[in-house]
Amino acid sequence: MATIRQEIVIAAINRAAALVDPNIQNNLEKQHVFRIATVLAEKSLTKDEKSIAVKIFNRDFDYHKIMFNQGTKRICENCHDECLATLYCGCSEIYTAVWIDRPYTEWDLKEK
């Protein structure tokens, strides 16, 4: 794997985010697709750097889908539940759980 120029990757991610027009890309999925297309079209990045940027976008996309409870749900291959997250099994339950009288300490996927 080639050397990753982190500053340039971060700059490309920030540029792609700044170019999003909420009047055109009016939902999370359209914004996600636009950001990825923008980074993939970036000539100053290597393939490895583009791959890193796409991974960051995918992680952030999952986070935002769960936090805003928006987006297309899928059936998880592991637990067979319907969820928003694409990278994590059970992630949406972790983030949307309501904790009463005590802080979150442990997550048991089997117990839910």
Question: Is 0.85 surpassed by the pTM of this model?
Answer: no
Burial of 6 by CB count in 10 Å (0-12 exposed, 13-18 middle, 19+ buried)? exposed
Helix axes 47-68, 28-40, angle to 10 degrees: 170
pLDDT tens digits for range 42-101: 999 999 999 999 999 999 998 888 888 888 888 877 777 887 777 766 544 444 455 555
pLDDT tens digits for range 3-38: 888 999 999 999 999 999 999 999 999 999 999 999
